[in-house]
Amino acid sequence: MKKILALLLALALLLPTVAMAELNRVSEEPVEFTFWAAYNPTFQTDWENMKCWKYLEEATGVHIKWELYTLNEMKDKLGITLAGGGDPSVLPDAFFRCNITDTQLKKYGPEGMFLDISKLVREYAPNLCQKMDDMNAWGSMLDPETGALYATPTLKDSISSRILPNFYFNKHMMENVGWTTGAPKTTDELYDLLVLIRDNDANGNGDPGDEVGITSNSLTRIMNLFSGAFGINNRGREDLCVDADPADETKVRYVYTTEEYRKMLSYLNKLYTNNLIDSNIFSLKTSSMVALGSQNQIFGLAYHSLAAAGIDEADYIGMDEPIQGPDGYKAWNTTDSGIYKGAFVISANCKQPEMLVKWIDNLYTYEGSLLINFGKEGEDWHYNEQNLPTWNDYILDQVNENTNYDLVTAQVSCYASGNVPCWFTDETFPGAQCRGLGYETSQKLAPYTNQQAWLFNFTIEEAEEVSALKADINTNCHDVWRADFIKGTKDVNDDAVWNEYVQQIESLGLEDMMYLYQTALDRMLETK
């Protein structure tokens, strides 16, 4: 029995290395469709000769005639075309990664510009349906009024790829101030460490006052670091002003009037008034962050990529676990849903939509995802010792020579163009293969995340009303008070002051806004 079990285990470990299953052939005879596609001109200019599309054509019998536009060009072209009289004959067969907005889908779908593919998907796209089931995506994708499906999404079924931003600490600064216990584990530890960074020449350049304790390119990214430590944003970062009521997780809660949020503001005020956080916290810019990073002035950084901030990964460590707050909360809540709408849309001008549904279904398989993101096994990539796809030498040699990963891999992969309509996992997500410390940190934080982030799906009318209410409640009220609380010009710990703030929030229509959120959540939870 032990020998049999050992053999089975060995076979299981070898599974990823066997030849991929064949993709679904759509047509025995060559067939052509015209796609509009948004591309990144920095990396990609020639989709006709991109290897992944040639491979997919060989497998499916479908040739795509690409009409490429930059994202800005596509935005303008879509706006003019969709609003120009409603003639579907001017449209291509499909839109690929064109960032068609949710509002455009809901407006122009019923007007006959986009095809409702809900029935076709259930009949001809079993892989997509299964992935939508697994990720509870139907409630976020179907038109809330009609149940129509006007697009297929990008699905990132990998919690590590959905964890952004990460948080990093300068290990040399820690060593220079005598901190030997690694990344801080609690908010109190972080405070104590930041004091040491502030009061000593942590970067060793002779200037004891040029270090910045914590920075980023936005206040929101910094606040994301602490959300899980204070028990808020337990349904991810898709909409930071609402999360699940801990007493009943089927109910929405307005985050910015909770006692948990109040405690976080109090902590941020403590950091700000003691000069432990970037003094420009309310006007942070990427350029300033990069400048600080290049001068070795940043201790703690909330950002997705150290390299993009001009920082050498070798100088920093990531978090082994989330920071624990004063009340025992310890979670990493900066995740998104992994569902990105509007990735692939079939127009009403398409004469054979069932073929395109069969074609796109290939991209929601393990094999199809690998194909358009890495190319062909053996020719472009191979499995490494960890059973992960790794580029072959001809790619890696070019990357090493040119130091531009995206430019080199774009000859094979469509990934650099952004939200491609397909299903990603950690194995098939190219970004995961080159993220280094960021990826390693995400993997460590993944067990501390809520796997189900909310992505609300409003009707057009609901979305307009929510947008108007949020402008008054969040932008014109909360944002102003937040700044005052963090600066200390208003005392967040004073009950009278806090109650005044809450009452003002409520007076601006909070109840109405929360009703709309609850309505959308109820629909989402009921939709399968």
Q: What is the SS3 assignment for 72-106? A: HHHHHHHHHHHCCCCCHHHCCCEEECCCCCHHHHH
pLDDT at 309: 86
Domain end residue (candidates: 448, 479, 500): 448
pLDDT at 400: 80
| Residue 245, domain member (yes or no) | no
* 9-68 residue pLDDT tens: 444 433 333 334 579 999 999 999 999 999 888 877 789 889 999 999 999 999 999 999
Q: What percent of the chain has pLDDT over 90?
A: 75
Element (H, E) at 345: strand 339-346
Q: Do 364 and 222 share a structural domain?
A: no
Q: Cis omega (within 30 of 0) on the bond before 389? A: no
pLDDT level of residue 416 (50, 70, 90 thresholds) = low
> Between 385 and 104, whose confidence is greater?
104
Domain end residue (candidates: 401, 423, 448): 448
* 439-452 residue pLDDT tens: 888 889 989 997 68
Q: Residue 255's closest CA among 502, 80, 458?
A: 502
- Give helix 219-227 / helix 259-273 axis angle, nearest 10°: 120
- Which structure tokens are listed for 511? 């109840």
Task: Tell me if residue 347 falls in helix, strand or coil.
Answer: strand
| Residue 223, domain member (yes or no) | yes
Backbone torsions φ then ψ of 77, nearest 5 degrees: -65, -45
Q: Do 188 and 154 share a structural domain?
A: no
Do 264 and 329 touch, CB atoms closer than 8 A? no
pLDDT at 205: 94
Mean per-residue pLDDT, 300-318:
90
- The residues, any chain, with a CB within 8 Å of residue 94's CB and separated by 6 or more, are 33, 34, 35, 36, 344, 345, 346, 347, 350, 356
Total number of domains in the chain: 3
Q: Do 428 and 474 share a structural domain?
A: no
Q: Do 119 and 81 share a structural domain?
A: yes
Q: Residue 57's closest CA among 45, 46, 65?
A: 65
Task: Could you list the beta-strand ranges (E) of 5-89.
Answer: 31-38, 62-69
pLDDT value at 477 more than 50: yes
The C-alpha angle with vertex 284 and arms to 195 and 301, in degrees rounded to 5, equals 50
Q: Do 368 and 431 share a structural domain?
A: yes
- Give helix 51-60 / helix 366-374 axis angle, nearest 10°: 140
Cα within 13 Å of Cα(174), Cβ side: 17
Q: Which of 288-292, 310-314, 356-360, 403-407 has the lowest mean pLDDT?
A: 403-407
pLDDT level of residue 422 (50, 70, 90 thresholds) = very high
pLDDT value at 350 more than 90: yes
Determine the Cα–Cα distance for residues 413 and 398; give it in Å rounded to an integer: 14
Domain end residue (candidates: 413, 448, 483): 448
* 185-211 residue pLDDT tens: 999 999 999 999 999 999 999 999 999
Q: Do 355 and 314 share a structural domain?
A: no
| Residue 443, domain member (yes or no) | yes
| Torsion angle defined by CA atoms of residues 126, 131, 135 and 136, in that order, rounded to the nearest 10 degrees | -10
Provide the greatest CA pair distance for the chain: 75
Determine the Cα–Cα distance for residues 423 and 369; give it in Å rounded to an integer: 6
pLDDT value at 490 more than 90: yes
pLDDT at 160: 73
Q: Do 198 and 122 share a structural domain?
A: no
Determine the Cα–Cα distance for residues 528 and 525; give it in Å rounded to an integer: 8
Determine the Cα–Cα distance for residues 363 and 52; give it in Å rounded to an integer: 11
| Residue 272, domain member (yes or no) | yes
pLDDT value at 244 more than 90: yes
> Between 436 and 25, whose confidence is greater?
25
Q: Do 275 and 146 share a structural domain?
A: no
pLDDT at 450: 79
Q: Which of 198-212, 243-257, 305-319 has the lowest mean pLDDT?
A: 305-319
Determine the Cα–Cα distance for residues 142 and 520; give it in Å rounded to an integer: 12
pLDDT value at 7 more than 60: no
Backbone torsions φ then ψ of 197, nearest 5 degrees: -65, -40
Q: Where are the alpha helices (DSSP H) in 183-230?
A: 187-199, 219-227
| Residue 247, domain member (yes or no) | no
What's the CATH code of the domain at 268? 3.40.190.10
80: Cα separation from own chain's centroid: 29
pLDDT at 354: 97
Owning domain of residue 503:
460-526
| Torsion angle defined by CA atoms of residues 408, 411, 416 and 417, in that order, rounded to the nearest 10 degrees | 150
Q: Do 305 and 225 share a structural domain?
A: yes
How many helices (H) and strands (E) would you count in the chain? 22, 14
| Residue 16, domain member (yes or no) | no
Mean per-residue pLDDT, 136-149:
95
Mean per-residue pLDDT, 461-472:
97
Q: Do 145 and 189 share a structural domain?
A: no
pLDDT at 432: 57
Place of tokens 């005392």: 491
Q: Do 415 and 480 share a structural domain?
A: no
pLDDT level of residue 435 (50, 70, 90 thresholds) = low
Mean per-residue pLDDT, 388-413:
84
| Residue 20, domain member (yes or no) | no
Task: Tell me if residue 328 falls in helix, strand or coil.
Answer: coil
| Residue 246, domain member (yes or no) | no
Q: Do 354 and 470 share a structural domain?
A: no
pLDDT value at 2 more than 90: no
